[in-house]
């Protein structure tokens, strides 16, 4: 499943971004080359990882998220492979040709903005009110998120600069809130914090209705201090515009490009990446019976022991 070797790797980062990578992640050519070799060799020898991508860009997702700590990148990669198999409804079959998933993307529920923010970060906009909780399930919602995330993770600039999330909660109803059990919320947040190779730099919320404040408080209580500190709740759109340049937002939010155009551009990208995204399901790790007790009400009771350490760096 490897796609090219380290020796074929040409760094895809501009000089600016290479500087950020060095300052924030300790990345330079030498460190990168050694870490890629170590991580690849570890995968090939791993007793339970049977199939896994070993191309440099894939491995760099984990190395960059973990600032080139090879042991931490290994642990995250194991968890990433494990949760994809424990929760296939959330993480597999990421196909834009699936009519329900396509309809969720068409609705404008979740879309990566076309232009980066002033820190050069990819911004992901979510509009809760555009998701119909009576028509689609929480698993389909999770799968739409996975599709968006996986479509962005191989972008090397995103790997280094990280992500800004903007969540517009207007139109959020009890229907949305009750679609998720507390166990699901807990498991999902564990997955996001410990298993997804993304640098979450800022998360903005606007228009939180009263029915959702308790659930949001519960969710925040499960996050690490570091992630919690990166969450900002804004009273209004004007308030948000102090933090995020309105020019890059959809026209509906005071920007220039209509949301429909952003969705169309994103769908185009998903179609081009369709084969690549579906191929992720070829990866395979053997899960011991104690890990797959996740189907019980308790959720991930012992996932390789690694969820016991719920800190995130």
Beta-bridged to residue 234, according to DSSP, are 206
How far the first Cα of the chain sits from its last, in Å, is 29
Residue 254 scores a pLDDT above 80: yes
pLDDT at 1: 56
What is the length of the chain? 313
| Band of pLDDT at residue 172, cut at 50, 70 and 90 | confident
Residue 294 scores a pLDDT above 70: no
Residue 301 scores a pLDDT above 60: no
User: What is the mean predicted confidence (pLDDT) over 54-65?
Assistant: 98
Rounded CA separation 285/1 (Å): 13
pLDDT at 303: 41
H/E element holding 106? helix 99-106
| Band of pLDDT at residue 179, cut at 50, 70 and 90 | confident
Residue 304 scores a pLDDT above 60: no
Residue 3 scores a pLDDT above 60: no
Residue 245 scores a pLDDT above 90: yes
Most confidently predicted of 134-138, 168-172, 276-280: 276-280
The chain-wide mean pLDDT, for the chain, equals 89
Residue 289 scores a pLDDT above 90: no
| Band of pLDDT at residue 222, cut at 50, 70 and 90 | confident
Do 76 and 197 meet the contact criterion of CB atoms below 8 Å apart? yes
Dihedral of alpha carbons 33, 35, 36, 37, sign: positive
pLDDT-above-70 percentage for the chain: 90
Beta-bridged to residue 203, according to DSSP, are 165, 231
């Amino acid at each position: 499943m490897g796609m090219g070797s380290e020796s074929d790797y040409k760094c895809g980062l501009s000089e600016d971004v290479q500087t950020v990578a060095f300052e924030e992640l300790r990345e330079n050519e030498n460190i990168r080359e050694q870490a890629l070799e170590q991580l690849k060799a570890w995968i090939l020898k791993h007793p339970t990882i049977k199939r896994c991508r070993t191309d440099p860009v894939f491995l760099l997702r984990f190395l960059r998220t973990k600032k080139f700590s090879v042991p931490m990148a290994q642990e995250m990669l194991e968890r990433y492979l494990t949760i994809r198999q424990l929760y296939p409804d959330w993480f597999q079959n990421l196909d834009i040709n699936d009519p329900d998933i396509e309809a969720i993307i068409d609705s404008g529920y979740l879309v990566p903005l076309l232009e980066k923010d002033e820190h050069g970060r990819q911004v992901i906009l979510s509009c809760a009110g555009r998701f119909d909780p009576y028509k689609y399930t929480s698993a389909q919602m999770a799968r739409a998120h996975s599709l968006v995330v996986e479509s962005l993770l191989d972008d090397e600039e995103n790997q280094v600069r990280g992500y800004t999330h903007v969540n517009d909660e207007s139109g959020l109803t009890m229907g949305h809130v009750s679609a998720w059990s507390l166990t699901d919320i807990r498991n999902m947040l564990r997955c996001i914090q410990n298993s997804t190779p993304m640098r979450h730099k800022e998360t903005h919320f606007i228009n939180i209705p009263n029915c959702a404040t308790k659930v949001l408080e519960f969710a925040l209580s499960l996050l690490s201090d570091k992630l919690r500190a990166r969450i900002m709740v804004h009273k209004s759109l004007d308030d948000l515009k102090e933090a995020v340049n309105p020019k890059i937002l959809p026209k509906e939010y005071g920007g220039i490009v209509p949301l429909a155009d952003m969705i169309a551009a994103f769908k185009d990208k998903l179609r081009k990446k369709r084969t690549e995204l579906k191929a992720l399901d070829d990866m395979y790790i053997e899960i011991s019976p104690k890990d797959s007790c996740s189907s019980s009400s308790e959720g991930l009771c012992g996932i390789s022991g690694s969820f016991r350490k719920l800190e995130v760096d």
